[in-house]
Each structure stands twice: as C-alpha cells, then as structure tokens.
Amino acid sequence: MAADGRQDAPEEPAGGAQAWSGRFSEPVSELVQRYTASVGFDHRLAEYDIEGSLAHARMLHGAGIIDVGDLTAIESGLEQIRGEIRSGRFVWRLELEDVHLNIEKRLTALVGDAGKRLHTARSRNDQVATDVRLYLRASIDRIVGLLHGMQHALVDLAEQHADTAMPGFTHLQVAQPIVLGHHLMAYFEMLKRDVERLADCRKRVNRLPLGAAALAGTSYPIDREAVARQLGFDGVCANSLDAVSDRDFAIEFCAAAALVMTHLSRLSEELILWMNPSFGFIDIADRFCTGSSIMPQKKNPDVPELVRGKTGRVNGHLVALLTLMKAQPLAYNKDNQEDKEPLFDTVETLADTLRVYAAMLRGVRVDAEAMRAAAMRGHATATDLADYLTKKGLPFREAHEAVARAVRFADECGQDLGALALTDLRRFSPLIDDDVYAVLTLEGSVRSRDHIGGTAPAQVRAAVGRAREWLSRP
C-alpha cells in the first residue's frame, strides 16, 4: 500500500515487519498499522533524520562504542539512502511506521549489522525530537529570509509614497490626514517584531535532545556536547524527560506564525477595501486577481482574500498543538506524533504566503488622486484647526467645541472644513486668521507631525532609512 494510502482495509493481520514485533504474539491489523503510521507525512524529516544519525554514529565511534568499520559502513549507507530519497527512488513502506524505521531498515539491508548498531544509545523518542528541531530551525531561517523580502517590498513602496496624502482612519472613519508611506511603515514595524519573535524562538528550538534516549538517558558513555556541536545546536536539552516530551518550541513557533498571518490579514483587509471602487485607492496587478464566471466586470482580489482566510488555518494549528500538549504526563507519549502535520502546514502556508505577498506588493498601483480626494472629504484636518486655536491661547476643550460647530456648519453647506471661507470660519472663533490655511491643508497637516513616529514626510523618509539599515545588518 502507498505510504499515505487511505483506502478502507479490513481488520486483518498485517504481518510482523516491525522493529519491535519480537514482543508480540500477533501482528497489528492493517487498520491499526495505517492509523498509527506517520511515514505518510514525516518522510519530510528524512534529510534531518540522516544528518542526526550521521552525527550520532560519529559520536558513538568517538566514544569507543562502535568501531571504525561500523562507522564507515553507516556513513556510506546513509549517503546512499540520502541519494535515493533525493532522486525519488526510495521506497517508503507504511508497515515500517515512520521515517526513522524506514531509513534504519534500508540501512540494515545495505550494510548489515553495522546498520543495526546505529540505534545504540538512542531511541526514536530523542531521535524524532531532534529531527523536528532541525527541521524547524531550517524553516525559521527560511521564513525570516522571506519576511525580509516582504519588508523590502513594503519599504520600497513606502519610500515612493512618502508624500502621498490619504485619510488616516479610526473606527474606519476619516480621522486625520496621513501619508501612505507612514501607513505602510506601520506594517514594516509589525513584521520587524515578527522577525524578532522568530529569532527569539530559534534560541529555544536550537537545543539537542539526543542523549535523552527513551526518557531517562543512557548507560553508554556518550558525548552529547560533541553531537550538539556537529549539528550546530547551541547546547543540549538539560533534562532527558523534558527533552523527549515537550513540544513548546513548536507551539511558540506556531504562535509567532499566527501573529505574522494576523498582521498580513490586517493589510489584506485594507488592500481589499482599497481596491473596492468606492475607495478606488489602489489596483492590484491582474496576475494576482481572478475574474467571475458569471459577472463579466469582476476583478477579485483573491490573493489578499486567501491570506485572510489562511490566517484562520494557521491560528487553528496553534490551537491544535496547544491542545495536543495539554495534560500530557511525562515523558514521551504517542500523542506527540500529531505535532507534525500542523507544524509542517504552518511552515508551508506561511512561506507561500510571504512569497506571494512580496510579489503582489510590487504589483500594487496607487491612485494618489483618489486617496487625496478621500482625505478632503470628512474634515480630516479638524484636529489641526483645534490645535491652531489652542496654540493661540484657547483652552483645548473650548477649541474642540468651536471646531465641532464649524464642522457641523461645513456639513450643512456640503463642504469640507478645509474649504470654508475665512469669513465663515471666523464665525466660530475670532482667533482665526488667514494663516489658518497652512494647517487646514493636507500637506500642512501631515508636515506638522514632525517627530519620531509621526506622519510628516520627512519622518517617513527617516523611518525608511532606518528600516533599510536594519534590513542590511548581518
């Protein structure tokens, strides 16, 4: 049967090919075999399993536990298996349960007794924990690279639009004018924290479980530090029971991944709104959109919609892993085999999302005029007028009240506050003079928010500069 074969099978004995079958008086049924096997998905760990086995074998030889002949045989056998797996010639067997036993069985077929000695001073429990950590470490490095790619795309677009005025929203209502570059740099900051979170998570991923064996350690004179060094781990897991059983490092990663997706879902929602003709702020290149089979005029922003949707899937994986770990007694339990599919899918979904997103951002066309026109509706500079009056000596609460009345008047005339004539404005405060128009314009308004973190175009350019510096650090 194919490794991931799911067709219904009768509950018949499946034969005793298992590494552990010596203890049993009857073989497991085919149904149980299929239910308990993980090779259909954990074959993805093969490269890391081989890497871990090579390091373990070298340590066994270094510690005088296996001789050089065995080591050489194991090394050449594992190299051959690696070649078979890479070229797709390796035959994965469901009855061999998982990636570890498939590779070990093949090794023994290739090199005989030396292959049987590889598992000395090791258990699948510390082996699988090691494989998952190696896989996750590589995945984190890949994802951080992809996050940087997306950040570059954001920074490039932000720089092009450091002067592009648009309405800033609270409650999705026009609040104050901002520039698009400032808005985009907000997402740069979110992703920067995501990168930092992943880098922090990596520190805890990068510890070696091997040596914990099944749960209690081993009576062989092993050298865990040597294995850790060979595999690029920062150190060893300090407690054998913890090493084989906890998957908190994977949960942490999924939490960080859920936050990345959550950030991207927010930007997605905005891109979708902005592409709606009622906004008309942006257009997304056709290659990222699809049409409708019934409505000929439609151009749908499928990519951001799917990112929004896939956020639910990644959040779900986080909850799955938390629930998997909850109330598990020490030490290893088979429950933990269920860590892999959510973890693999989180990695793949996140990586694909970041790749497509960075490309899509480079295909966004901005309609600066539409953004500007929207900012001119909704009295976006009302706060600026209140600040203007306050600076002329009116207490802020009174200024707020005066401007509120002016806004009502502007609404009655069907005009934006910034378009009212001086004589009209002066009805609400004699402190208003013709210098008021310097703050009532969009440009005057954004330019005045000139401090670190503010929306002034000069500040946005400075933020872009700092971002580029951060991105180019080693």
Q: What stretches of 8-82 adopt beta strand conformation (E)?
A: none
CB of 104 to ligand ARG, least distance (A): 12
- Binding segment for ligand ARG among 228-236, 313-321, 334-342, 372-380 (CB under 6 A)? 334-342
Q: Is 85 in the site for ligand ARG (CB under 6 A)?
A: no
Closer to ligand ARG by Cβ: residue 124 or 148: 124
Query: Choosing from 87, 171, 219, 278, which is the catalytic residue?
Result: 171
- Binding segment for ligand ARG among 307-315, 329-337, 358-366, 397-405 (CB under 6 A)? 329-337
Cβ(411)–Cβ(420) below 8 Å: no
Query: Choosing from 182, 240, 245, 292, which is the catalytic residue?
Result: 292
- Binding segment for ligand ARG among 5-13, 294-302, 330-338, 351-359 (CB under 6 A)? 330-338
Cβ(399)–Cβ(408) below 8 Å: no
CA 313/CA 336 separation, integer angstroms: 20
Pairing of strands 364-366, 173-179: unpaired
Q: Is 399 in the site for ligand ARG (CB under 6 A)?
A: no
CB of 71 to ligand ARG, least distance (A): 24
Q: Is 98 in the site for ligand ARG (CB under 6 A)?
A: yes
Distances (CA, A) of 108 to 118, 119, 273: 9, 11, 60
Cβ(113)–Cβ(120) below 8 Å: no
**Joined tokens for residue 202:** 């990596």
CB of 452 to ligand ARG, least distance (A): 49
Closest alpha carbon to 195 in 151, 254, 154 = 151
- Binding segment for ligand ARG among 66-74, 120-128, 152-160, 224-232 (CB under 6 A)? 120-128
Closer to ligand ARG by Cβ: residue 125 or 459: 125
DSSP string, 106-151: HHHHHHTHHHHHTTTT--HHHHHHHHHHHHHHHHHHHHHHHHHHHH
Q: Cα 31 from chain centroid?
A: 36
Q: Is 384 in the site for ligand ARG (CB under 6 A)?
A: no
Based on the residue annotation, tell me whether 292 is a catalytic residue of this protein. yes
Site residues (CB under 6 A) for ligand ARG, limited to 8-47: 38, 42
CA 234/CA 216 separation, integer angstroms: 22
Q: Is 176 in the site for ligand ARG (CB under 6 A)?
A: no
DSSP string, 165-185: EEEEEETTEEEEEEEHHHHHH
Q: Among all residues, which ones are annotated catalytic?
A: 171, 292
Report the interface residues with ligand ARG, using CB under 6 A: 38, 42, 98, 124-125, 128, 334, 336-337
